[in-house]
């Protein structure tokens, strides 16, 4: 049994970006931050082929770059573009707001790097868990045909991409073929590395069935029925979350803008500043061009997150 090598794929450009940060900052960031172990743990659950020390250095490097690069455009935007739409902000406020944007950009970049492996692991987890019933049925068919565990996972390594476990199966076969490990040990190690708790328990049950000499087909059929029932409960939960998204949409994008426009219109008659040195017309413009679009994006992201488990 061998795993066919994939050729013709371009190198991942993100690796060069990470290497740039490591070449300039070295191992220093990984020594001073307590987050190194957290990053390493999350990277192990993904298919990101970057060492955790390199990743931490890259995280600090691009945070500094994002902070330094965000001040000039934000200051120009506040000082020159906003007056074109009627928002005139004093110079000292423009500097203050630009500094806030600068720190926010750096913080957002840092948080993005920090949680990106967790996001990738979560995506892998969702893809695996929504296909667990098909994975169990596929393995059950192979077991009923007399396939060995090595043959079963070699088959998943070739065609498991549609189930989301191709990389997992490849890792198991790689340990068996290249490192000479026993298939039970390889399965046990993969269950520890997997971001999906359900898939890990499934592999552990598979290993336990093999060790006690149980009937694999019976075990896999029982697990397929269990995953089918879990899928039904997930669908019911998803419907409730979509109902919540509809209520948020009506409240935040229909009722709230009408209320705020009414209140700000009344306050505008009296003149003067309302909030943070801004007048009522300026706040109306911010609500129109900033609050409503970003709130709509937030609702769409929430709906996308809910539907990701479909």
Span 194-251, pLDDT tens digits: 888 899 999 999 999 988 888 888 999 999 988 888 888 878 888 888 888 888 888 8
**Residue 5: pLDDT band by 50, 70, 90 thresholds?**
very low
Instruction: Look at 8 and 176; give whichever has higher pLDDT.
Output: 176
Question: Whole-angstrom Cα distance, residue 222 to residue 241?
Answer: 29
Average pLDDT score over residue span 120-148 = 88
**125 near 196, Cβ under 8 Å?**
yes
CB atoms within 10 A of CB 301: 10
**166 near 160, Cβ under 8 Å?**
yes
Which pLDDT does position 204 carry in this prediction? 93
Q: Is 262 exposed, middle or buried (0-12, 13-18, 19+ CB in 10 A)?
A: exposed
The 3-state DSSP class for residue 279 equals strand
**Residue 6: pLDDT band by 50, 70, 90 thresholds?**
very low
The 3-state DSSP class for residue 44 equals coil
Which pLDDT does position 277 carry in this prediction? 67
**Residue 53: pLDDT band by 50, 70, 90 thresholds?**
confident
Instruction: Look at 186 and 92; give whichever has higher pLDDT.
Output: 186
Which pLDDT does position 310 carry in this prediction? 61
Q: Given CA atoms 187, 191, 196, 197 in this order, what sign does their dihedral have?
A: positive
Question: What's the Cα-to-Cα distance from 216 to each of 11, 165, 173, 309, rounded to whole Å?
Answer: 40, 19, 19, 28
Whether the predicted pLDDT of 24 surpasses 80: no
Which pair of tokens denotes residue 93? 């406020």
Whether the predicted pLDDT of 276 surpasses 70: no
Average pLDDT score over residue span 33-52 = 80
Phi first, then psi: what are they for 66, rounded to 5°?
A: -65, -40
Which pLDDT does position 1 carry in this prediction? 43
Which pLDDT does position 160 carry in this prediction? 66
Whether the predicted pLDDT of 112 surpasses 70: yes
Question: Whole-angstrom Cα distance, residue 176 to residue 158?
Answer: 16
**What are the extents of the domains in the chain?**
13-127, 131-214, 232-307
Whether the predicted pLDDT of 134 surpasses 60: yes
Lowest mean pLDDT among 91-105, 252-266, 274-288: 274-288
| Cβ-based neighbours of 83, under 8 Å, separated by 6 or more | none
Question: Whole-angstrom Cα distance, residue 1 to residue 150?
Answer: 8
Lowest mean pLDDT among 116-120, 157-161, 240-244: 157-161
């Amino acid at each position: 049994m061998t795993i066919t090598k994939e050729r013709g794929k371009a190198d991942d450009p993100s690796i060069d970006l990470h290497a740039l940060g490591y070449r300039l900052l070295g191992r220093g960031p990984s020594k001073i931050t307590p987050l190194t172990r957290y990053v390493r743990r999350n990277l192990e659950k993904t298919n990101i082929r970057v060492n955790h020390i390199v990743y931490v250095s890259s995280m600090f490097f691009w945070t500094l770059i994002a902070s330094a690069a965000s001040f000039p455009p934000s200051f120009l935007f506040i000082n020159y573009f906003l007056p074109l739409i009627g928002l005139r902000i004093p110079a000292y406020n423009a500097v203050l707001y630009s500094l806030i944007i600068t720190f926010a950009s750096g913080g957002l970049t840092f948080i993005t790097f920090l949680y990106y492996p967790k996001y990738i692991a979560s995506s892998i987890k969702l893809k695996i868990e929504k296909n667990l019933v098909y994975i169990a049925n596929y393995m059950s068919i192979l077991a009923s045909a007399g396939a060995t565990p090595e043959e079963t996972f070699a088959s998943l390594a070739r065609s498991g991409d549609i189930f989301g476990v191709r990389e997992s199966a490849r890792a198991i076969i790689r340990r068996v073929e290249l490192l000479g490990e026993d298939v039970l040990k390889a399965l046990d190690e993969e269950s520890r590395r997997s971001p999906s708790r359900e898939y890990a328990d499934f592999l552990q049950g598979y290993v336990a069935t093999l060790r006690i000499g149980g009937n694999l087909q019976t075990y896999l059929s029982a697990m397929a029925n269990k995953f089918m029932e879990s899928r039904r409960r997930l669908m019911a939960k998803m419907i409730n979350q979509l109902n919540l998204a509809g209520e948020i949409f009506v409240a935040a994008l229909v009722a709230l803008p009408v209320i705020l426009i009414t209140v700000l219109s009344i306050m505008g008659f009296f003149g003067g500043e309302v909030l943070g040195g801004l007048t009522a017309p300026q706040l109306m413009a911010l609500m129109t061009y900033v609050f409503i679009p970003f709130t709509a994006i937030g609702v769409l992201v929430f709906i996308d997150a809910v539907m990701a488990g479909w």
